[in-house]
Each structure stands twice: as structure tokens, then as C-alpha cells.
């Protein structure tokens, strides 16, 4: 995560895709090591095992793709930042191995182009843009109504690329292996565009979208580490010592601590917004234990709405759509204030204009922090832990709280604690034929809009099925 911004910045330029098979090969060689030590080389944490279900589906699809019979897009779940690494492992190791076992002949390397969020290079560094471009990546600005360069390049690669293309239709991580965020319609739209482009080129390939589910679990449930993390969060938030009975099941005790911590954080943030931003946030209380969860989530959503309103008022952005939509638009509005495309040469500005530009950039960065806090909790529900009180769900929820406190305490996120060794389970679903759906949509704009909506809905259902236990 970048440090707080105190000065105006040059525009975020488009990073051209420059696929280099040698760079990809070198990266693939060191991939198992990177998965283990991505952020904390000295800790026993990281991804040590990746398994795939139905990998033979992908092996056969790659064979047909290389034979010129189909074009396809990999639509993968995006719960964590490690997902691109897991996908690379799937394509570079598991799929070739399954192909050899089943006698399926493939041309190597087995890889895909992919779209990545342009902002990743801001918190990771420019080296990531260099690596992603040479691994076949196309950067996209999520909040832009139409990122024409990114869309055009993705469309070209979908039609003519020597490899398929991969996209995360959720548009960003939500920190929950068991919850799929609403999908953005861009993947479905790309599919219909590809069918149209194939027909215009007088070609006959069938266009497919392949849903892929990704889930993470701990090799050994890290209950001790979760207890340690909750203790740290309680201390950092100024929460007094717990008065929770220690005689029950550990899951029940941890759940009560999580609820208590969540209630404390929400209460503190509500008071912050009441006092310093003059917001009317009436108290909501109940003595009914059954209703406490619903009220807590209602208060959380009200708090998220308040945080987003404050940023929207500053940037003069209308509140439209769900929380994710609002976060995307605010991110783009903030970047427009910081990464100034209207300034040709920052160095040529007069001291007055430079000072004003820096002022605006710094204030925009601070206003975006309200959005970042809301962004952390877009997938939180009232019964996520109660449905399945597993270590993974406790850890995910506690880590989201860690993110929130880190953003408030420090301008630079220190990196999430690694709670233990993890494994990834990747499940490949049955391909969805976009070509078949095109027959009912062509030549009619309304029918096409309906087709995009229906395909997005069906893709959501397919991905949701793939991550069920």
C-alpha cells in the first residue's frame, strides 16, 4: 500500500502488453517459492498445496483452442490477492500434467492473457507493471465508464491472441472464500463482442466462458493465531479486557469476541462521524440476542453508506448502485484529482499552481480513505460465521478488521499477518457457450442488453456452485 500522497502525481499511463515467454518461464520456475514466502519469508505461512478439480476440462479446451476451433475466456473467482498466482500454477503445472496423463497433446506454454487492475502497481510498485505486461497482462481502470485502451486490447486478444484470456468478473477481492461478490457485466460483454468479431472476420470458432472457483483453507486450523490476532485487535482498538466466559467451545468464545470487537469498532466510527462530520446516526439497541447480528450488520451498512457519502460529496459523485459500484467510481474520481492528466508537465507549474495541485492531491487521498474503509466490508454478512464456524471464516473476518485498523493507524498497510500454511482448491466448471446465446441477441440492442444481464447472472450462479463445500 502506498504511503499517504502529499503531492500531485503524473498521469497513470496505460502499460502496453508485451508478452515475453522467457519472463513467463522464469516466473513459473520460482512460483512455488513465491507462493510460500510472498510477504513473510521467515513465517510458516503461505500456500503450500494447490489442487484442481475437473482440470481435464481445461486440458481439452486448450487442445480445441490451439486447433482453432474455439475462443474462450477464463472467468475466475477473486477472493484473495494470491489468486493470479494460483491461476498461474493451475495453467503452468496442473493442466499440462493432466493433459499428459490423458494423452491430450498441447503446445507449450499453457498460459493465458489476463486483465489486472491498474491500481495494483500503486501499492506494489512499478516492477509489478513490468512483470505483468511481460506475462501477458492488460491493465484496466475499474472505475472508468469506458477504459477504451484496455477494452480494445482485451477485445483484440480475445479474438486473435495465441492464448485465451482470463478475467476476474468480480473486479476485485472481497476477502471471503465462501461469498461471491456481484459480478460486473464486462466479462459477458467481452464474450458477445468476441462472437460479433468472429463473425465479422468470417470465422467459425465457438466462443466460450469458463467459470472457475477458487477457495482457500488452512492445512491446520490456526486457532491459536486467530486468538492472538483478536487479542492484538482488541488492544489496538482500546477495547477493555473481555468479560466472556472461558468455559465454552472455542468457536463460541471467539465468535463472542468478534462480535464484541465489531460492535466496539462500529461505535467508535459512528461517534467519529457524528462529531467531526456532523452526521445523524441514531443509536440502535436491542436486548434480543437473535436480533443483535442483524442490527450489527445494519449499523455496519449505515456506517459504510456514511463513509461513502462523505467522499461522494467531496468529489461530487452521485451515489448510484451497490457499495462496490460506489467504491469504483470514487476510486476513479480520486485518481483524477491525484494523477493529473490535465497537467502536461508538473515541473513547469508555478509555485502557486504546484502548491494548489499538491493540496488537492493530498486532500483527495485523505477523502479516499473513507472509501477504503467501506471497501473492506462489502461482502460481510450477518451469518457468515454462524453458517459454518470454521477457522477460515473466523480468520477472514478478523483480517478484514485488521485491514480497517491498519488504514486508520498508518498510511502504509504493514501487510496482513500470515496465520498458517494454506491450500488452494480450484474447481473448473462447464463452459458456457456465448455463441449459442448470441443467436437470440444479434441485431437488437435491448435483446443484447438482456443477454449480457442473463449471462452475467448465470455466470454468477455457476461460480457460486463451484465454491460450495
Query: Do residues 176 and 245 both lie within one domain?
Result: no
> Any alpha helices (H) in 173-249, and if so which ranges?
186-200, 223-236
Same domain, 344 and 446: no
Has residue 13 been placed in a domain? Answer: no
The residue out of 409, 431, 456 marking a domain boundary is 409
Instruction: Note every long-range contact of 31-36, with CB atoms under 8 Å and residues 24 or more positions apart, other chains counting.
Output: 31/85, 31/88, 31/89, 31/92, 32/89, 34/85, 35/82, 35/85, 35/86, 35/89
Looking at the fold, whether 275 and 324 belong to one and the same domain comes out as yes
Indicate which CATH number applies to the domain containing 114.
3.40.1130.10
* Mean pLDDT, range 229-247, rounded to an integer: 81
- Shared-domain flag, residues 180 and 241: no
Contacts 24+ apart (CB under 8 A), 243-249: none
Residue 7 counted as domain residue: no
Average pLDDT, the chain: 90
> Is 369 within a domain?
yes
Same domain, 332 and 306: yes
Average confidence (pLDDT) over 228-238? 93
Statement to judge: residues 102 and 142 lie in one domain: yes
C-alpha to C-alpha distance for 120 and 117, rounded to whole angstroms = 6
Which of 423, 419, 323, 420 shows the shortest CA–CA distance to 377? 323
Looking at the structure, tell me whether residues 76 and 210 fall in a common domain.
yes
Do 273 and 151 share a structural domain? no
Q: Do 187 and 275 belong to one domain?
A: no
pLDDT tens-digit profile of 397-417?
999 999 889 888 875 555 778
- Tell me, yes or no, whether 84 and 106 share the same domain: yes
Range of the domain at 320: 223-409
Considering the domain architecture, whether residues 137 and 231 belong to the same structural domain is answered as no
pLDDT of residue 1: 42
The pTM score is 0.91
5 belongs to a structural domain: no
The domain tally of the chain equals 2
Residue 6 included in any domain? no
Average pLDDT on 207-223 reads 96
The answer to whether residue 416 is domain-embedded is no
**pLDDT tens for each residue of 154-212:** 999 999 999 999 999 998 888 899 999 999 999 999 999 999 999 999 999 999 999 99
Percent of the chain whose predicted confidence (pLDDT) is above 90: 70
Residues 460 and 400 in one domain: no
pLDDT in tens, 89-141: 999 999 999 999 999 999 989 999 999 999 888 888 889 999 999 999 999 98
Does the pLDDT at position 277 exceed 90? yes
Q: Is there a domain that residue 134 lies in?
A: yes
**pLDDT for position 42:** 40
Residues ≥6 apart with Cβ < 8 Å to 136: 17, 19, 24, 111, 112, 113, 114, 163
- Are 112 and 128 within 8 A, CB to CB? no
Q: Residue 387: is its pLDDT beyond 60?
A: yes
Q: Does 16 reside within a domain? A: no
CB 340 within 8 A of CB 357: yes
Residue 291 near residue 266, CB atoms below 8 Å? no
Amino acid at each position: 500500500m502506498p504511503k499517504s500522497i502529499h503531492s500531485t502525481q503524473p498521469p497513470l499511463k496505460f502499460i502496453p502488453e508485451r508478452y515475453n515467454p522467457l519472463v513467463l518461464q522464469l516466473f513459473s520456475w520460482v512460483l512455488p517459492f513465491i507462493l510460500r514466502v510472498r510477504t513473510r519469508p521467515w513465517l510458516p505461512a503461505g500456500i503450500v498445496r494447490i489442487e484442481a478439480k475437473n482440470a481435464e476440462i481445461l486440458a481439452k479446451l486448450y487442445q480445441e483452442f490451439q486447433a482453432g476451433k474455439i475462443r474462450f475466456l477464463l472467468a475466475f473467482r477473486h477472493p484473495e490477492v494470491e489468486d493470479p498466482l494460483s491461476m498461474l500454477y493451475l495453467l503452468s503445472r496442473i493442466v499440462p500434467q493432466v493433459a499428459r496423463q490423458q494423452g491430450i497433446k498441447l503446445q507449450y506454454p499453457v498460459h493465458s492473457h489476463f486483465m489486472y487492475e491498474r491500481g495494483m502497481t500503486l501499492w506494489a510498485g512499478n516492477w509489478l507493471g513490468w512483470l505483468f505486461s511481460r506475462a501477458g497482462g492488460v491493465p484496466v481502470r475499474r472505475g472508468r465508464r469506458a477504459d477504451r485502451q484496455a477494452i480494445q486490447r482485451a477485445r483484440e486478444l480475445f479474438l486473435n491472441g495465441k492464448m485465451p484470456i482470463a478475467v476476474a468478473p468480480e473486479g476485485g477481492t472481497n476477502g471471503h472464500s465462501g461469498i461471491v461478490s456481484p459480478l460486473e457485466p464486462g466479462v459477458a460483454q467481452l464474450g458477445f463482442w468476441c462472437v460479433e468479431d468472429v463473425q465479422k472476420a468470417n470465422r467459425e470458432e465457438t466462443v466460450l466462458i469458463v467459470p472457475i472457483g477458487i477457495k482457500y483453507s488452512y492445512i491446520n486450523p490456526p486457532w491459536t493465531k486467530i486468538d492472538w490476532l483478536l487479542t492484538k485487535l482488541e488492544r489496538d482498538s482500546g477495547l477493555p479486557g473481555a468479560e466472556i466466559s472461558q468455559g465454552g467451545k472455542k468457536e463460541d468464545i471467539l465468535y463472542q469476541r468478534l462480535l464484541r470487537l465489531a460492535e466496539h469498532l462500529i461505535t467508535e466510527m459512528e461517534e467519529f462521524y457524528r462529531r467531526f462530520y456532523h452526521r445523524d446516526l441514531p443509536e440502535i439497541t436491542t436486548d434480543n440476542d437473535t436480533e443483535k447480528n442483524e442490527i450489527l450488520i445494519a449499523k455496519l451498512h449505515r456506517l459504510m453508506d456514511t463513509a461513502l457519502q462523505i467522499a461522494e460529496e467531496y468529489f461530487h459523485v452521485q451515489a448510484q448502485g451497490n457499495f462496490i459500484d460506489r467504491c469504483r467510481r470514487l476510486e476513479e474520481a480520486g485518481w483524477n484529482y491525484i494523477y493529473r492528466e490535465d497537467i502536461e508537465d508538473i515541473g513547469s507549474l508555478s509555485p502557486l499552481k504546484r502548491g494548489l495541485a499538491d493540496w488537492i492531491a493530498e486532500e483527495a487521498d485523505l477523502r479516499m480513505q473513507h472509501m477504503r474503509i467501506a471497501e473492506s466490508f462489502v461482502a460481510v454478512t450477518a451469518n457468515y460465521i454462524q453458517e459454518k464456524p470454521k477457522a477460515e471464516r473466523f480468520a477472514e473476518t478478523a483480517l478484514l478488521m485488521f485491514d480497517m485498523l491498519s488504514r486508520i493507524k498508518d498510511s502504509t498497510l504493514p501487510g496482513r499477518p500470515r496465520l498458517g500454511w494454506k491450500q488452494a482448491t480450484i474447481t473448473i466448471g462447464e463452459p458456457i457457450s456465448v455463441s449459442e446465446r448470441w443467436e437470440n441477441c444479434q441485431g437488437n440492442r435491448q435483446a443484447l442488453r438482456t443477454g449480457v444481464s442473463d449471462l452475467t447472472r448465470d455466470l454468477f450462479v455457476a461460480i457460486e456452485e463451484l465454491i460450495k463445500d
